[in-house]
Chain A
Amino acid sequence: MVNERPLVEVRNLTKIYPPRGSTAEFHAVDGIDFELQRGESFGLLGPNGAGKSTTMRMIAATSPISGGSLRVLGMDPMKQGPEIRARLGVVTQDDHLDNELTVRENLHIYGRYFSLPRTVIRERATRLLDFAQLQEKAGDQVETLSGGMRRRLTIARSLINEPDILLLDEPTTGLDPQARHILWDRLFRLKQEGVTLVLTTHYMDEAEQLCDRLIVVDHGRIVAQGSPRELITRYATRDVLELRFRLDERDTAAEKLRTSALATGGNDTDGRVELLPDRVLVYAADGEAALATVHAMSLTPLTALVRRATLEDVFLTLTGRSLIE
């Protein structure tokens, strides 16, 4: 299995949408490179409009590339689109399920699009409904399903052809926390079974839970890549101290912190103080020690929380504050 050809090879890939009416030419993807190995679970992270979905569509062979080169499963998406799509599973941002049909009929129709024999579809549909925990809903119209169930059905549907790669575009956006956790559990199972996953998300916890490796994309370019752990080590500190102050004290407290040893690092080389609209973040190797320093400065935060740095901190560092807007 060593030296096996990557499932996806992306070289200097670009996507340019021609000018349309009053909108100028738009570089949605502006030269990105990466490779995807079999069995990997790979994440594309970025704010809205960073080019994640466009990249996914090009890999899915449903959007022609504008430049660079792209090989999917060793094939050229511009020439062998149907052959590539036959071996991919795609979960798009919107479900696009057929509300007027039943859960099982949705799977059936989809399987027919892949020219699978009816008996094969029937057998797989039963198994997939089981996997998606939708056995009891098999005969129900899709209209009656909750958001989480629709998502699970969409994922079940995308697996009907037993794909080599599963592409998920923001799989849990818009779901309530419980539904997200059920979905993560299902995706984690797929990962354990060795399914190769590519997912886009702007949820950092999702990326941390599901991705072995990821790229952070902003304005159509890669701004960082690595495993979640590597990125946190490289672009954040071990701990983050979150402080909230009374409104009238906030600015002076922030100013004091900014000019303190905490901001310049002191003995902690990569310490940093960041002012957010609602709180102040202090990046530090040792959060408790940093909090002690804050108290020693006779500042009195309303709340203080020491936590481990997450991918969200990396993300905010790299792409600016765009997520907060």
Chain B
Amino acid sequence: MLHAFGYWVTLYRRTWRGSIVINVLNPLLFLIGIGAGLGALVDDNAPAQIAGVSYAAFFAPGMLAAAAMQNAFLEGSAGVARAAGFGAYRSATPTPLTPEQLAAGHLLFIAFRVLIASGAFVVVMAAFGLISGWWALGALLGATLTGVAFAAPAAAWAVGVRKLRHIDTVFRFVIMPLYMFSGTFFAVSQLPEWIRPVSYLLPLWHGVELCRTLSLGSATITGSFVHIAYLLALAIGGFLVARITYRRRLHP
């Protein structure tokens, strides 16, 4: 597994500078634009609507979790499908590495990437005074877990995908709508009552809630435990299925 992970790290060493810049710049622009721009508007017109904090403080952890989901999903789907079709998995298949090790190594790397990107995001949040202390570390781990909870099922599915446009479709019609119904930009309590139970079932909602409560310091042990258990179940379940689908595709 570590050798498979090592491959991705070698590749990453060529591109990390560029990707770190994007990892920092992206949240910076988002937080300036939404926090200072849209946030000011929201705070002036509808104060104390959401959790009694500034819009920026509310929005930032939501975005942290959603960005983790998006990065992890893309790497776990398109990245995996490419590696399985003509990339790294193909060259590693004749070696002693097993399909299971390839799956584990790649997922470990995706977790590492999400950790770095989320780390950059949390640093920017701290610079804006939106998070501090140990809570920041908690939110960082929460975001990483959210990423893996998406990457593992995505990889289990994508390893068998032969047409990359299928991934595009899922991204557009499954992942993007999650933003809307998971309390990323606004609280789920602002949604019509009948739709809220749906939100509570969505994995991104658990990620967002976990990161937000940790970041605002309002986390409860029971609440966090439920979120973590839900996300962990997805990650582990995804990996268990990936072990089967990886073998099916790579050792036909």
Residues of A within 8 A of B (CB): 17, 57, 60, 62-64, 81-83, 85-86, 88, 90, 92, 94, 96-98, 100-101, 105, 108-110, 112-115, 158
Residues of B within 8 A of A (CB): 3-4, 6-7, 10-11, 14, 86-88, 90-98, 250-252
Q: From residue A166, how far is it (CB to closest CB) to chain B in Å?
A: 11
Chain A residue nearest in CB terms to B91: A96
Chain B residue nearest in CB terms to A157: B91
| A115 engages B3 (CB within 8 Å) | yes
| B95 engages A110 (CB within 8 Å) | yes
Q: From residue B86, how far is it (CB to closest CB) to chain A in Å?
A: 7
Q: How far is the CA of A96 from the CA of B87 in the complex (A)?
A: 6
| B98 engages A82 (CB within 8 Å) | yes
| A62 engages B250 (CB within 8 Å) | yes
| A110 engages B251 (CB within 8 Å) | no
Q: How far is the CA of A94 from the CA of B91 in the complex (A)?
A: 9
* In the complex with contacts A64-B251, A112-B3, A115-B3, A86-B96 CB distance below 8 A: yes
Q: How far is the CA of A81 from the CA of B94 in the complex (A)?
A: 10
Residues of B contacting A94 with CB < 8 Å?
Answer: 86, 90
Residues of B contacting A81 with CB < 8 Å?
Answer: 98, 251
Q: How many A-B residue pairs have CB under 8 A?
A: 63
Residues of B contacting A90 with CB < 8 Å?
Answer: 94
Q: How far is the CA of A88 from the CA of B96 in the complex (A)?
A: 9
Contact of A114 among B86, B91, B95 (CB under 8 A): B95
Chain B residue nearest in CB terms to A161: B95
Contacts A/B (CB < 8 Å), 13 sampled: A57-B252, A82-B96, A82-B97, A85-B94, A88-B94, A94-B90, A98-B11, A100-B14, A108-B10, A113-B4, A113-B92, A113-B95, A113-B96
Contact of A63 among B90, B92, B98, B251 (CB under 8 A): B251
Q: How far is the CA of A105 from the CA of B11 in the complex (A)?
A: 10
Contact of B252 among A63, A92, A105, A109 (CB under 8 A): A63
| A105 engages B97 (CB within 8 Å) | no
Chain A residue nearest in CB terms to B102: A113
| Most chain B C-beta atoms within 10 Å of own C-beta, residue among A62, A82, A113 | A113
* In the complex with contacts A94-B86, A115-B3, A101-B10 CB distance below 8 A: yes
Q: How far is the CA of A45 from the CA of B96 in the complex (A)?
A: 27
Q: Nearest 6 A-B pairs (CB), nearest first?
A: A90-B94, A113-B95, A96-B91, A96-B90, A82-B96, A86-B96
| B94 engages A62 (CB within 8 Å) | yes
Q: How far is the CA of A306 from the CA of B10 in the complex (A)?
A: 57
Residues of A contacting B252 with CB < 8 Å?
Answer: 17, 57, 63
| A113 engages B3 (CB within 8 Å) | yes
| A109 engages B6 (CB within 8 Å) | yes
Q: From residue B28, how far is it (CB to closest CB) to chain A in Å?
A: 28
Contact of B94 among A17, A92, A98, A112 (CB under 8 A): A92
Q: How far is the CA of A189 from the CA of B92 in the complex (A)?
A: 26
Q: How far is the CA of A62 from the CA of B90 in the complex (A)?
A: 11
| B96 engages A98 (CB within 8 Å) | no
Residues of B contacting A86 with CB < 8 Å?
Answer: 95-96
| Most chain A C-beta atoms within 10 Å of own C-beta, residue among B86, B87, B97, B250 | B97
* In the complex with contacts A62-B251, A86-B96, A97-B91 CB distance below 8 A: yes
